[in-house]
Amino acid sequence: MARLPGLDVVSINHLLQDAGIRGKKSFSYICTNKNSHAPLTIHDSSLAAHEIFMRRCIDLAALSAGKVAPNPMVGAVLVHDNRIIGEGHHQYYGGPHAEVNCIDSVNQNDRDLIPESVFYVSLEPCSHFGKTPPCADLIIKNNIEKVVIGSRDPFIEVNGKGIEKLRAAGIEMITGVLENECRELNKRFFTFHIEHRPYIVLKWAQSQNGKIAATPTSSGFSSKRSSFGDVQNKRFYISNEYTNRLVHKWRSEEASILVGTNTALMDDPDLTNRYWPGKSPVRLVVDMDLKLPAGLKMFNDSKSYTIIFNSRQHELPDFTIPMTSAGIGFYQVTHDVSLVQQMVHALYQLKIQSVLIEGGAKLLQAFIDEGLWDEARIITNTGLHVPDGLASPLLNNHTLVREDEVMSDQIHYFANHLHNVHLTS
């Protein structure tokens, strides 16, 4: 009988359901009493069992969503005779890695069991001295004989060297267990290190008849005087307040957020995350001739740093990733090369692993036309018809992956089928 500590009924059902979906008939579980922290028994050490423990690693890793970037989210479990004796995840940037927390979590009574346990980890253990010493060395030092890994670490300093080190120490290795799920979990990290560019998410809201913005004469306009110069803020609200909260969650998950000149001028957006726990992204705006009014919110609010892509000036004071200070930086680009390519390259240089592009239509279309996007999230207010207005961008090479409804808003999630973190390494 093996007990999986720390799992509630929901998690157990999730695990069972998952194994069911995968159709692993050889796998058997006994869950004697679902309501009283019942023991969950696993009678198999086959691939299906490896998947169960790897899924636990993924769930642990996901607890750090939005907290460890630019590091990857990683989870680890130590299993003795089908019983989890240790669990850990990488919790904050610069902090101990998942493997360290996992080994540290083992009870005094169980510490003798460490060498004869199986170590599961969602990402290849590191082999380099970064902010922390190599995890591969820690595993070797603990005389662990078997390691199961989700996916290889694409970071140049590791990239297979951790696996080699463990193998050279005579450790039995199984790699690639739930590999796609492990890569999906860290899609930003993988895209950044494999494709040398940030993970790009497009987002826009449109009316039922496909308008992203109205002309000033259209109904549905919310107009108010702005607090700067003679610029009038004519913000057009399309999505509802629940969807807006979701958009703030999306903001909390990305390293940066980008808008074009017209959107900055017309909407005067704050571009921070205010309605979801977590951080705000670095703000990015295109202003080639540095003509945007200094009074815009994104230049005055101290919740986040703002970088202005422009043709005149290059200066990035106090800029670091992860971002620790507010401020304004200038990133110089030229008129004669694709702006999209220059910005994508700049983000890679600045170690910004992802960007959420929130408009406007011209900027979004430029990224689509260059094929430089990974996901598009389109919010459609099915109850809003805008007779005249600006047409929303046209996607291509897209595959629908998910559809949600939030009252009158429909949200369609598309993936660019030309880019897939699972395909290349």
Closest separation between CB of residue 62 and ligand AOF, Å?
Answer: 13
Residue 135 interacts with Zn ion (CB under 5 A): yes or no = yes
Q: SS3 sequence, 262-277?
A: HHHHHHCCCCCCCCCC
Place of tokens 């004869």: 116
Tell me which residue has its CB nearest to ligand AOF: 130
Burial of 303 (0-12, 13-18, 19+ CB in 10 A): middle
Using CB under 5 A, which residues numbered 81 to 120 contact Zn ion? 97
Nearest to 212 by CA among 60, 392, 364: 392
Nearest to 341 by CA among 385, 309, 319, 297: 309
User: With contact defined as beta carbons under 8 Å apart, do 120 and 161 qualify?
Assistant: no
Closest separation between CB of residue 101 and Zn ion, Å?
Answer: 11
Closest separation between CB of residue 87 and ligand AOF, Å?
Answer: 13
Closest separation between CB of residue 415 and ligand AOF, Å?
Answer: 25
Among 42, 78, 102, 158, binds ligand AOF (CB under 6 A): 158
| Site track for ligand AOF across 65-104, x = CB under 6 A | ------xx-x---------------x------xxx-----
| Dmax (CA) of the chain | 75
Cis peptide before 95 (omega within 30 of 0): no
| 164 is a catalytic site residue | no
Residue 123 interacts with ligand AOF (CB under 6 A): yes or no = yes
Residue 59 interacts with ligand AOF (CB under 6 A): yes or no = no
Closer Cβ to Zn ion, 50 or 97, answer by number: 97
Using CB under 6 A, which residues numbered 395 to 414 contact ligand AOF? none
Sign of the Cα torsion 70, 77, 195, 393 reads: negative
Among 125, 198, 269, 393, binds ligand AOF (CB under 6 A): 125
Among 34, 37, 111, 131, binds ligand AOF (CB under 6 A): 131
98: partner contacted, choices ligand AOF, Zn ion, none (Cβ within 5-8 A by kind): ligand AOF
74: partner contacted, choices ligand AOF, Zn ion, none (Cβ within 5-8 A by kind): ligand AOF
Catalytic residue among 51, 99, 124, 181: 99
State both tokens at 88. Answer: 């850990």
DSSP state for residue 315 in the 8-state scheme: B
Separation of first and last alpha carbons in the chain: 40
Q: Residue 120: CB partners within 8 Å, gap ≥ 6?
A: 50, 53, 54, 56, 57, 76, 77, 78, 79, 147, 148, 177
Residue 155 interacts with ligand AOF (CB under 6 A): yes or no = yes
Residues that bind Zn ion (CB under 5 A): 97, 126, 135
Residues that bind ligand AOF (CB under 6 A): 71-72, 74, 90, 97-99, 123, 125-126, 130-132, 135, 153, 155, 158
Q: Which residues are catalytic?
A: 99
